Amino acid sequence: MSKIKALLVAASAFLGVTMLTGCKDLVLIHSKGAVGLDERDLIIIATLLMLLVVVPVIIMTIVFAIRYRATNTKATYDPSFHHSNKIEVVIWGVPIIIIGILATIVWKTSHSLDPYKPLDSDVKPLEVQVVALDWKWLFIYPEQHIATVNYLEIPANTPINFKITAGDAPMNSFMIPQLGGQIYAMAGMQTQLHLIADEEGVYDGRGYGFSGEGFNGMHFKTRAVSQQEFDSWVEQTKSTATEDLSAGAFDELEKPSEYVEPKFYRDVEPNLFSNIMMKFMGPMDSANASEHADASGTTSMPGMVMDNK
């Protein structure tokens, strides 16, 4: 018995140390935004509820194996035993209760954490249009008339309304783990994601879909700063960037390239985001979509916006 206990203690200590060494990389746990924090809490609650079943089962497996081993002559042996109402109530009742609780939580959070649902805030949201390309991310700021590649700067404590699509690239998945949410980017479709950074800092973002040879380099830095710093950065980008993101420049940018360094554009062709989606439509669809394009270059044509929940 002493040897078995010693092995169990050693195994527990090893697993504990192994898990703690990777805590600093658990970006889903170290959330920095309201959405990310709610998703983190959901993960923790769901895990703890499931452990209410898993942990007792593991413990009972070990206890039964030790207590009812062949060499233990003190254990009660009852070959006629076949049923117990108490055991049946426990093994069926507890999981049913836990599943019911989980179902209620998931149903509520599916609505409260809907990626299409705007965030409640007294601060005016910032719109950012996102285009997944081979193998890089293009960010367009329609109100500021600038664009960046593989670099995203946002004001902290300000809701960010992402409108997401893809160029000729395969379907990808856009995510900034510490801020929460994950949504697909698809050619000819527009998806949405609403996030907010509660703290200033630098957060990693990337494409989480396998999209070809260069997908491993399809990552970017998200820098959350004060509103004053963000405004200064916009003006600096307009004055120091040397290129405009015209239709021709976009055609060059759209060509496949790997591990692309951050790039900045001082101006953006009007309605570029809408035009990127329209090129995947037929002539009639494009004409109808043009009639529904608003000043920011985002179309509201029925069918254009995909409910990717």
Give the per-residue SS3 of 130-141.
Answer: EEEECCEEEEEE
**Maximum Cα interatomic distance, the chain, rounded to a whole number of Å:** 87
CA–CA separation, 124 vs 131, rounded Å?
Answer: 23
- The answer to whether the CB of 197 falls within 8 A of the CB of 33 is yes
Spatial CB neighbours of 65, under 8 Å, sequence gap ≥ 6: none
Cis amide leading into 107 (omega within 30): no
pLDDT in tens, 137-179: 999 999 999 999 999 999 999 999 999 999 987 889 999 999 9
| pLDDT attached to residue 296 | 44
CA–CA separation, 107 vs 9, rounded Å?
Answer: 39
Spatial CB neighbours of 64, under 8 Å, sequence gap ≥ 6: none
Q: What is the pTM of this model?
A: 0.77
DSSP state for residue 167 in the 8-state scheme: S
- The answer to whether the CB of 112 falls within 8 A of the CB of 38 is yes
- The answer to whether the CB of 224 falls within 8 A of the CB of 200 is yes
Residue 45 has pLDDT above 50, yes or no: yes
pLDDT in tens, 213-262: 888 889 999 999 999 999 999 999 999 999 999 999 999 999 999 999 99
- The answer to whether the CB of 208 falls within 8 A of the CB of 186 is no
- Angle value at C-alpha 271, between 268 and 272, nearest 5 degrees: 60
Tell whether domain 126-291 is in CATH 2.60.40.420.
yes
Domain boundaries, the chain: 2-112, 126-291
CA–CA separation, 240 vs 232, rounded Å?
Answer: 12
pLDDT in tens, 79-115: 888 888 998 998 899 889 999 999 999 999 989 899 9
Closest CA to 167 of 123, 116, 218: 218
Both tokens assigned to 164 = 């997401």
Task: Name the pLDDT band for 184 (thresholds 50, 70, 90).
Answer: very high
> In which element (H, E) is residue 47 found?
helix 34-67
- The answer to whether the CB of 115 falls within 8 A of the CB of 193 is yes
CA–CA separation, 286 vs 301, rounded Å?
Answer: 10
pLDDT in tens, 248-300: 999 999 999 999 999 999 999 999 999 999 888 765 454 555 555 444 444 44
Q: Around Cβ 241, how many Cβ atoms within 10 Å?
A: 17
